[in-house]
Amino acid sequence: MNQILTQEGRSLRGEHGEGILWSKNDVFAQVMGAERCGRLRGVGFGPTPSGRSGSNLSCYTLTSSSSSETTHRITELETSLASVMDQLSRSEERHQENLAQALAQSDAWHEEQLTEALAQSDAKHQEQLIEALAKALAQSNAKHQEQLIEALTQSNAKHQEKMTEMMLHMKEMFAQFSPLMHSSLPSQDSTASK
């Protein structure tokens, strides 16, 4: 180390305000070895790769050949991205078309099912209504007939009772008028003599 330090032109250098600048051939670089990208050795925790030093500045600068390669690679990636975006757009369009078609088919199917269900429901409702009306009519007819029979029976009984009363009354009247009628009638002997 002493030998390295005593050689001319070999010292630690740096400029104020531009971070720590190390030369590729300074003492530190000869002792510690070449600086690697992304690391700053021997300067504590403060400096970061963004405060680039002269020894590792090449890590952060592009040469013209790597710059053209990078530009070419970026162009390829942009082209690839445009292709993927185009495919994604077409896929989205197909998806929207398929979705619209599926929705239309689903709506048509649901409308058909609803129409069929309504028709079945209407038919069943009408059938139930007819059955209920027939049952109500049958019950009404049976009740009406029962009431009619009962009314006729009562009417016949009252009529019979009245007829019986009238017959008794007529018999009484006949019994009362019978002696009078016999007395007012000419006797048969007198009618026969004439």
- The pLDDT value given to residue 136: 92
Answer yes or no: are the C-beta atoms of 46 and 30 closer than 8 Å: no
For residue 26, what is the DSSP state?
S
Structure tokens at 162: 């009245």
Task: Give the integer Cα–Cα distance in Å for 113 and 29.
Answer: 85
Closest residue by Cα to residue 14 from 28, 33, 3, 34: 28
Long-range CB pairs of 168-174, under 8 A, 24+ apart, other chains included: none
Domain ranges of the chain: 1-61
- The pLDDT value given to residue 88: 95
- The pLDDT value given to residue 117: 93
Task: Give the integer Cα–Cα distance in Å for 31 and 43.
Answer: 14
The stretches of the chain forming alpha helices (DSSP H) are: 2-6, 27-32, 57-60, 64-184, 188-193
Phi-psi region of 53 (alpha: psi -120 to 50; beta: other; left: phi over 0): beta
Report residues of the chain scoring pLDDT below 70.
Answer: 1-24, 35-65, 181, 184-194
